[in-house]
Amino acid sequence: MWWCNACKRRFTPDDGFWKMKHKPEVVAEACSSYRRGMSFSSVSKHFKEYDKAEICPATVYNWVKKYTKITKNFTDKLKPKIKGRIHQDEVVVNVRGKKHLSLESQG
């Protein structure tokens, strides 16, 4: 919470975690765990086992839904600045009898 000397009022800046019950670190780790392949219930159990937080699977789902949207909006605006030489490999992947070209980039 902050204090404004000009208007003599208290305020809380909205940093994306305003009115959240859990710390931003817990929310970020839960979303990251889900993205690494854990199910919503597995993430919930993991946090309970290690006494990090009491969260239910539905809460993890809501966090992933909310912050995926925010992250996508942010990353869609990024424009990479690439300098130097870039090596790109072509890989042909056979999916159900059809060949698809996949490009793998290495910076």
User: For 79-101, what is each residue's pLDDT tens digit?
Assistant: 888 888 877 777 777 788 887 77
What is the mean pLDDT of the segment spanning 50-74? 89
**Residue 9 lies inside a defined structural domain of this protein:** no
Name the DSSP class of 22.
S
| Number of domains observed in the structure of the chain | 1
Q: Is the dihedral of CA 53, 55, 59, 60 positive or negative?
A: positive
**Residue 81 lies inside a defined structural domain of this protein:** no
**Residue 8 lies inside a defined structural domain of this protein:** no
**35/65 Cα distance (integer angstroms):** 11
What is the mean pLDDT of the segment spanning 48-65? 90
pTM (two decimals)? 0.58
Q: Quote the pLDDT of residue 17.
A: 76
**Residue 92 lies inside a defined structural domain of this protein:** no
